[in-house]
Amino acid sequence: ILSWHNQIGPICDAGYLVVVPDQRGYNTSSKPDGAAHYATSILAKDAVSLIDHFKRRESESATVMGILSILCKFIFWFVILIVSIPIVLIGYSYGTYLTFSLEPSFLSNEPVSIKTNGPLVWKRIKTNGMVLNTIICGEDTPDKTMVLMLHGFPESGILSWHNQIGPICDAGYLVVVPDQRGYNTSSKPDGAAHYATSILAKDAVSLIDHFKRRDAVVIGHDWGGVIAWRVAHEYPERVNRLCILNAPNAWGFRNLGIPELVDQIFRSSYVLLFNVPGLAEYILARDDFFAMKSLFRAVGNGNQTFSKDYVKMHTEMLRNTNSLTPMLNYYRGMITETKKRDLQQKISPMTLIIWGIKDEALSFPTALGSVKGCKDAKIEKVEAGHFVQAEKPEIVTSKILDFLRVLVIT
């Protein structure tokens, strides 16, 4: 009654039978001992039993479910706002009193370039209704295995993979590296629904189709890894081998224990901010993308992981191509995703997970959990942070090439 006293009467007067229980544990309702009796699956059965009690079919419970849905959404956005307010205040103060400088100790002078002996071209390729700006390295001949490399947030194809493209190409592969939808000069459809992982996975498969390949080796980092997992799960016959860099799959979170889950929730708290349209853009874009530049300072571990040329290219991409909101839509698309995955079906392609164990955003237990969702997978740990392929390019490239050579032998 305390929750719904303002709504019960009007809904009842509109011609509905309104049922409002004090749920188990509340007021004078039953109070079983032990937290196990209050799991949401059990509480849901209480609700269904009430519907049975009144001899109603499922269709007649639509109003109840609608109210529950609205309540859940209200709680979700309330939590986002509560978490975001201190973030905004801290970010505003930090950005006001500090300025970003390209210090030699922070940034190297190494240019962002692709060193290769093979042909290297940029093309705009139409795929799944989008036009993707794409790097193609190597001869497109039928005998060459295609390697599709998917970048993550907040990079582009060349920024993410410039250290790996040349060596993989020179090892005899056709390397295809798109700027994924929303990034750089690739298509940017409006609305978070266009960035659901099931749709992004179709972009990747359409690129494989474009090059007339039956399958491809798919490599992904961060969001590119999330998409690569989705491709391998929904289109296993299109994935020759799978290589993932610092990106867990659904099993990675599902298999976390309580302490590990709490730790990961805190690590992922930035996702709440990214899901607030307008507010996230304001914080990330203010002072010429100061917060984005600071990201590279934070994850570079003081060892010149990122160069002046890298930061310049990244800032120009954000400034000149209106990419920020589409990039954030990857996070917002998670909320709009309607196509559910069958977690009983494990990832079947042979999988290599390369994991920078100093990752501040994603804990190593999520990598261990991800292996449980695969039929054939192994983890290679690297003493690096989240951008493992940038921080330890030689090590990562070597591990990828060793994985690909197994493909050639078999």
User: Residues 180-227: pLDDT tens digits?
Assistant: 999 999 999 999 999 999 999 999 999 999 999 999 999 999 999 999
Q: In whole angstroms, what is the distance from residue 353 CA to residue 216 CA?
A: 17
For residue 71, CA distances in Å to 3, 4, 15, 85, 150 come to 11, 12, 22, 21, 37
pLDDT band at 342 (very low <50, low <70, confident <90, very high): low
Locate all alpha helices (DSSP H) within 98-180, ordered by sequence.
157-170
Q: What is the pLDDT of residue 15?
A: 84
The pLDDT, as a whole number, for residue 60 is 44
The mean pLDDT of 365-390, rounded to a whole number, is 95
- Confirm if 389 and 221 have CB atoms less than 8 A apart: yes
User: What residues contact residue 317 under an 8 Å CB cut-off, 6+ apart?
Assistant: 156, 159, 183, 184, 323
Res. 296 pLDDT band, cuts 50 70 90: confident
Of residues 168 and 270, more confidence is placed in 168
| Global confidence as pTM | 0.75
Pick the residue with more confidence: 205 or 50? Answer: 205
Mean pLDDT for the stretch of residues 238-249 = 97
Q: Per-residue pLDDT for 252 more than 70?
A: yes
- Whole-number Å distance between alpha carbons of 284 and 305: 21
Q: Is 194 a catalytic residue?
A: no
| Percent over 90 (pLDDT), the chain | 61
Are the beta carbons of 180 and 132 closer than 8 angstroms? yes
Check residue 396 and give its pLDDT.
97
Pairing between β-strand 174-178 and β-strand 130-137 as defined by DSSP bridges = antiparallel
Q: Of 25-39, 80-94, 152-166, 214-228, which gets the smallest average pLDDT?
A: 80-94
At 135 the three-state DSSP class reads: strand
Of 221, 222, 310, 314, which one is the catalytic site residue?
222
How do residues 140-190 score in pLDDT, each as one tens digit? 999 999 999 999 999 999 999 999 999 999 999 999 999 999 999 999 999
Q: Would residue 222 show up in a list of annotated catalytic residues for this protein?
A: yes
| Percent of residues in the chain assigned helix, strand, coil, to nearest 5 | 50, 15, 35
Q: What is the pLDDT of residue 19?
A: 95
From 151, 162, 233, 386, active-site residue? 386
Give the residue with greater pLDDT, 231 vs 337: 231
Determine the Cα–Cα distance for residues 152 and 227; give it in Å rounded to an integer: 9
Q: Give the mean pLDDT of 261-268.
A: 90
What whole-number distance in Å separates Cα of residue 157 and Cα of residue 146? 16
Three-class DSSP category at 134: strand
Beta-sheet pairing, 130-137 with 120-127: antiparallel
pLDDT at 304 over 90: no
Tell me whether residue 386 is one of the annotated catalytic residues: yes
With vertex at residue 92, the alpha carbon angle to CA 86 and CA 94, rounded to the nearest 5 degrees, is 100
* pLDDT above 70: residue 92: no
**Confidence check: pLDDT of 105 > 70:** no
Residue tagged active-site, from 173, 195, 310, 331: 331
> In the 3-class helix/strand/coil scheme, how is 218-262 assigned residue by residue?
EEEECHHHHHHHHHHHHCHHHEEEEEEECCCCHHHHHCCCHHHHH
Q: What is the pLDDT of residue 356?
A: 95
Mapped to the 3 state alphabet, what secondary structure does 257-314 carry? CHHHHHHHHHHCCHHHHHCCCCHHHHHHHHHHHHHHHHHHHHHCCCCCCCEHHHHHHH
DSSP 3-state of 356: strand
Who has greater pLDDT, 233 or 37? 233
CA–CA separation, 254 and 85 (whole Å): 29
Q: Above 50 in pLDDT, residue 98?
A: no
How crowded is residue 322: how many other Cβ atoms within 10 Å of its Cβ? 11
**Parallel, antiparallel, or unpaired: how do β-strands 377-382 and 146-150 relate?**
unpaired
